[in-house]
Structure 1
Amino acid sequence: MNAPLPMNLIPTNIAAMDTELDIVALARSGGMALAAMVSHAEQLQRDGHAQAASNLYALWLAHHEDPRKHLVWFNHGSLLQQLGQSAQAQQAYEQALALSPDFAQARINLGLVLEKQGHTAQAIAAWAHLTGQRYAKDPVDTDMLTAALNHIGRVHENNRDYRQALEALEHSLLINPKQAGVIQHWVHIRQKACEWPVYKPLPGISKNEMIMATSPLAMLALTDDPLLQLLSAHAFVARTYGLKEERLCKVKQYHHPKKRIGFASGDLREHAVGFLLPTMLQGIDRELYEVYAYDFTMDDGSEHRKKLLGMFDHVRLVHTLTDRQAAERILEDEIDVMVDLHGLSAGARPGIFALHPAPRQGTYLGFIGSTGMPWFDFVITDRHALPPEYTEYFMEKPLYVEGSFIPLTPPDEKLPVVTRADVGLPEDAFVMGAFGNVYKITPEMFGVWMKLLKEIPDSVLWLIDDNPTTTENLKNHARLANVDLSKIKFTARTGHSEFNARLKLCDVFLDTFPYNCGSTSNDVIRAKIPLATQYGRTMVSRMGLSISKSCGSNNLISVNADEYFEKIVNFKINKIGKFNYSKPAAGFKLSF
């Protein structure tokens, strides 16, 4: 299974042994006690020789018999798993289970290495073996049972099989309702599946507990109460990160000829944030500022990524560095101002910023709300998105830009030609597009869209066919509203260029509330399609307001759902020719 233990990897300071019998010979002889072997293997690991430790496990297993051998196979599998040798780890766990079929932790780990290799169906089957023993004579330990159910739910969620994901997590919560992390995922999956109401009663879990476990991202789409969003962020940071603040940077400011600005991101690629960054970077005066990227992006090989990286003065690849190593690199570069482009969004590395590697630190774009993180000094925004009266709900101080804080990009002139017939839309219909992420759709806003379909005879609502569960749920909600399903068109997701071409087929774009579209609304403006938006009291619910104001468009801005409905109906009645914004978006300028 593994190569023999190389003699040059055995430290000379390992436990004293007879000179005529080295470790390898003893392991091969079948005479090495289990405790001695584990001790030697652990010492090798401590000395940085994990592969040598793995080889020692393999030698011992090949030449020894012991009633505890299943534990050795498990330890060997765990080490192989740490080394990234998933196929070999799988074999080790299977050997452990062959000797001890009820070894629950081995079955959990077997599922994980199967998943790592892309065998998700087999992984789910491994965990389901444990869940099937829930009512057996000798039931599985509840911690193992909930772990298996949670992994099943997680994999189904990743595959957008939301109905199965919810079923698994609800079974887990029936066993142990005190799992805040599981409640967090359950709430957001219900949002993504458009299962309404989102807060469905569950045994042993109060609505208050559900609210407190709700992730900050989910909360942005659930309410426009700024205080509730701040509390959600604060609670999430407290239960998730446990980071200890340090101040690596001891100076209040550097004195460089140009101020050095650093941006940390894992989204320097074809991504909602990545699509907005070129305009932002162009808006930084290079006579005054020197711009650094601290990049931990998974390279997608796209031309967009290549172009984006070329817009920085310096690029530091930090994806292989620990948070401390990345922070030390920032400190070494003497960055004056560091900007986190994640906040609380997926892929965030708050551990870098908790070390305070720069005199000033702020957040931008990745999470449109207060992060609840005490190590951020400012948030980049504008006065429409975060007016002074709402700054008290932010831990970060506003750093205002002129115009919209969403850096609007120029139109793409090289788009494919798409017709309504190509996507199955009626040629003479009044097409209302709504392409925001499905978790942003609320029952209240969907209800307004249904009213519009009833009020406007030739109207069509154009939505994303994100996944079978959500699409079927939305159709069911439409049926309950007595809306003709032929007036709702679902189309699959497509590439960004094709998406921008399809936008031009809309007569109006319907923004979501309380989580407005951001990057998508930028695309709407580029396509010169009118944006109907409702704003509230939170920064994320005022993105449409910010964008529309910057383009001189006030006609379709609404303060409540009734006004939103009325303005769209009136726009349809009074629409003459193609809609045009009264002025081009203001040039984006960012100063620190």
Structure 2
Amino acid sequence: MNTVTQALALFKKGQQQEAEHQIQAILQRTPNDLQALQALGMMAAQTGRLDEAERLWRRCVELAPNQPANHINLANLLMGLGRINEAEGFYRRAIALVPQMPVAHYNYGRCLSALGRLDEAILAYRKALALQPAFFEAGVNLGLVLCEKEAYQEAEEVYRNLLNHHPETPELRVYLGDMMRLRGQPDKARLEYEAVLHKYPQHPRARLSLGLLWIDEHGLAKAAELIEPLIKETRLPKGDVLVALALLRARQGDQKTAIDLLSEAIRAGANRPQHYLTQAIWLAEIRNRDQALAVLEQSLALFGDKPPEILGQLIVNQRHLCNWQHWDERIKTLVERIKNTDRAIISPFVALSIPGLNSADLLKVARAFAKRFQPWVKQSAKLPQRVIKDISVSRIRIGYLSCDFHEHATAYLTAGVFERHDRKRFEIFAYSWGPNDDSAMRRRLLSAFDRFVEIGSLSHFDAASRIRADGIDILVDLKGYTRNARTEILALRPCPIQVNWLGYPGSMGASFIDYIIVDSITVPEDHASYYDERLAYMPHAYAPVDDVPVKLMTPTRADAGLPEEGFVFCSFNNPYKITPDIFDRWCNLLKDIEGSVLWLFAERESVKHNLCHEARLRGIAPERLIFASKVSHEKHLARLTLADLCLDTLPYNAHTTASDALRAGIPILTCLGETFPGRVAASLLTAAGMSELIVQDLDAYEAQARFLATHPDELIQLRERLRAGQHRSAYFDTERFTRNLEFLYQRMWEIYQCGHPPRLIAPK
């Protein structure tokens, strides 16, 4: 007579059908044969018939509820299906049945870790190790969770203790290296990986980890050599390889492929909340905010608000879509968490637009975020020595660091400055890692610099070494903490003076940034305590405008989809800057000003749908919202002339958008905020001589907008003054702006040459 043991032997030899046939024969004779049901459940699970496996394992639990193995097997299956909350209960029952069973505590730890309950997972793993000190998998997983908690010293102790039990296990050296990599000790991590690869050149885990280290360092070619061949490697979990490959593709700029790979990784078992968060960030980068929000909501349902960064990402994607569901509750929770933690649970750039955060909060967020660059600060001593130059025979070398030297808002603001730098006193370098779109702006920028250096293919260290070798005296970062920044280069300190300007309106909270260029409106001197940089003051606005004349072919209202009659309120700010409070004010104006319309920038249908829905809730017909899409910069400036009054947002003002309005001769009404990003429009208006368009609160904002909409003569006078000022105000004079900027650079250099630390620089 056939036995379960014989059937299992056949299955092990690959004779699946015969094995299952023998098991079925046993079950026909004795339907409740527990061993046969267990064996058939295992066979079904291993051949991908998961629904059948679940049914069989549940039957085993019913027949033998006091056998812990049945609970563990069913829980393991549920874990693989992503039903982690269900799995937890079965693991708990197994432990209740046999409290001294190490594997039960280990599997329970895996479940808790997947649920984001890391403190409980640590206790479960420690219990497994207490029962079985040499339990390899429990020790490894405990180390991983401790690393996730940033308890690196404890993780190192766990790994080194495990090495005492498994001294010849190369994987432990790799995990030790992973801990060092996360701890900010890349050199020590590399030594561990290379020690393993020296003995085992094709060791898959060591190759994977070394590849991830190269991704961290932007050494993408070397990372690809290590990671890409591993896709065929059977000794690694497929999900781990797919995650690494996704990270590589994302860093190479192919977010779409990265997203697909990460989805595949999650399906393959890499089902962790961090991966959902990463996927959502990449979806947002390719402007698929709807899907990003869906992924975040899915993660929230599966794991709760783990990791803590998820709430900030959820809010920022909602804001980009003008989806204000749960707005008050989520904003309140996020603000409370930011105020009560020292961890970086939100990116500094996202924090800038969160209502309820003050300047002290923004500095706290920036400082927490800046800590991740400390490993690079520690490596700065490895850069080549700087050559001391004779200033009497050398021009000051200025390097501008950015990936936006193409058709981009930053380029439109700065191109004229780069062109007008005094070449007798300054030598101007660009360090670029952005796209070459072969646009007219790109060609203009290539001509504007003395040297245009592509660093996209260089690692962070090699890029910093190149900047050091070029003898740059003052490195000006135009990115700050915005998308695609390479702050690691600045952390390596390639230059004696490093400056934050224009791209990021706030303190970077970093020891490696010496100055931030501001003006007295964006950062009054009594706000200096909210900046770790020293303040370098421009006499007028901190932001330039390009005064190169543009021929504007004014379109008709019909061309822009606007009604022929009626007052046109306009806000071309990105939708994420619109808050429910500011939208309330706009709708009040539409109610009061008969025939008026609100002209907004929106490309996504979901944004239009959500704003129309919000308008209906406020008693405004959706057709009174007119939506504009993206056009060329020249066409955008031209269509702006059709607006009667531009309305600003708060707490994050119009920046380039405000500059565009003023350049087109259209008044923009702003409410002065507390933080840098909420004071930019006021800065530009003051420099343009239009300070009467600055109000102090939203009641005054609404009242002034209503007044101007009902007093056309007053509005005409404002427009005439604004257009006349384009020929004489400091704001519209790029030459004067550049000389004032150069004065700041000269003072920075003089202070450095005298051996003094950075200090506040008053305007010229």
TM-score by length of structure 1 reads 0.77
Residue identity opposite 1:466 in structure 2:
E
> Is the Cα–Cα contact under 8 Å of residues 74 and 96 in structure 1 kept in the other structure?
no
CA distance in 1, matches of 2:616, 2:413: 38
Among 567, 574, 585, the residue aligned to 1:448: 585
Aligned to 2:435: 298
Identity %: 29
Aligned pairs (5 A) from 1:17-166: 93=231, 103-105=238-240, 116=254, 118=256, 123=261, 126=264, 129=267, 140=269, 144-146=271-273, 149-150=276-277, 152-166=279-293
Aligned to 2:368: 235
SS in structure 1 of the partner of residue 551 of structure 2: coil
Aligned to 2:294: 167
- Output one character per residue of 1:188-209: Cα deviation in whole Å (capped at 9) or x when no partner: 212212233676758xx87633
Among 164, 180, 187, the residue aligned to 2:315: 187
Structure 1 range deviating more: 499-508 or 462-471: 462-471
Structure 1 range deviating more: 542-551 or 150-159: 150-159
> Is the Cα–Cα contact under 8 Å of residues 233 and 371 in structure 1 kept in the other structure?
yes
- Output one character per residue of 1:167-220: Cα deviation in whole Å (capped at 9) or x when no partner: 322332442634134344223212212233676758xx8763366622211221
> Is the Cα–Cα contact under 8 Å of residues 276 and 519 in structure 1 kept in the other structure?
yes
1:214 paired with 2:346, answer yes
CA distance in 2, matches of 1:72, 1:236: 29
- Output one character per residue of 1:442-480: Cα deviation in whole Å (capped at 9) or x when no partner: 111111111111111121101122323322222222121
Aligned pairs (5 A) from 1:385-404: 385-404=522-541
CA drift of 1:373 comes to 1.3
CA distance in 1, matches of 2:650, 2:555: 29
> Is the Cα–Cα contact under 8 Å of residues 434 and 463 in structure 1 kept in the other structure?
yes
Aligned pairs (5 A) from 1:82-481: 93=231, 103-105=238-240, 116=254, 118=256, 123=261, 126=264, 129=267, 140=269, 144-146=271-273, 149-150=276-277, 152-173=279-300, 174-175=302-303, 177-196=305-324, 208-209=336-337, 213-223=345-355, 225-239=358-372, 242-245=375-378, 246=380, 255-257=391-393, 258-282=395-419, 284-410=421-547, 412-481=549-618
CA distance in 1, matches of 2:258, 2:516: 40
CA distance in 1, matches of 2:431, 2:525: 31
Mark the CA change 1:281 to 1:565 in structure 2 (over 3 Å): closer, same or farther: same
Aligned to 1:583: 725
> Is the Cα–Cα contact under 8 Å of residues 555 and 567 in structure 1 kept in the other structure?
no
CA RMSD after TM alignment: 4.0
CA distance in 2, matches of 1:252, 1:208: 49
CA drift of 1:583 comes to 2.3
Q: Specify every segment of 5 or more residues in structure 2 that has no aligned partner in the other structure, as ranges.
A: 1-169, 171-189, 746-764
SS in structure 1 of the partner of residue 705 of structure 2: helix
CA drift of 1:565 comes to 1.0
CA distance in 2, matches of 1:375, 1:219: 21
> Is the Cα–Cα contact under 8 Å of residues 361 and 376 in structure 1 kept in the other structure?
yes
CA drift of 1:147 comes to 5.1
CA drift of 1:499 comes to 1.5
Q: Specify every segment of 5 or more residues in structure 1 that has no aligned partner in the other structure, as ranges.
A: 1-34, 36-41, 58-67, 131-139
CA distance in 1, matches of 2:466, 2:604: 42
Mark the CA change 1:119 to 1:509 in structure 2 (over 3 Å): closer, same or farther: same
Mark the CA change 1:107 to 1:318 in structure 2 (over 3 Å): closer, same or farther: closer
CA drift of 1:300 comes to 1.5
CA distance in 1, matches of 2:472, 2:420: 19
TM-score by length of structure 2 reads 0.60
Mark the CA change 1:317 to 1:78 in structure 2 (over 3 Å): closer, same or farther: closer
CA drift of 1:119 comes to 5.7
SS in structure 2 of the partner of residue 461 of structure 1: strand
CA drift of 1:268 comes to 1.0
CA distance in 1, matches of 2:377, 2:249: 35
CA drift of 1:331 comes to 2.2
> Is the Cα–Cα contact under 8 Å of residues 578 and 650 in structure 2 kept in the other structure?
yes
Structure 1 range deviating more: 161-170 or 392-401: 161-170
- Which protein has greater RCO, CA pairs closer than 8 Å, 6+ apart? 1
CA drift of 1:160 comes to 3.6
Residue identity opposite 2:658 in structure 1:
S
| Equivalenced residues, count | 520
CA drift of 1:332 comes to 2.2
> Is the Cα–Cα contact under 8 Å of residues 265 and 297 in structure 1 kept in the other structure?
yes
SS in structure 2 of the partner of residue 348 of structure 1: coil
Among 539, 542, 549, the residue aligned to 2:679: 542
Mark the CA change 1:528 to 1:493 in structure 2 (over 3 Å): closer, same or farther: same
Give 1 or 2: higher helix fraction: 2
SS in structure 2 of the partner of residue 342 of structure 1: coil
Mark the CA change 1:124 to 1:437 in structure 2 (over 3 Å): closer, same or farther: same
CA distance in 1, matches of 2:348, 2:275: 26
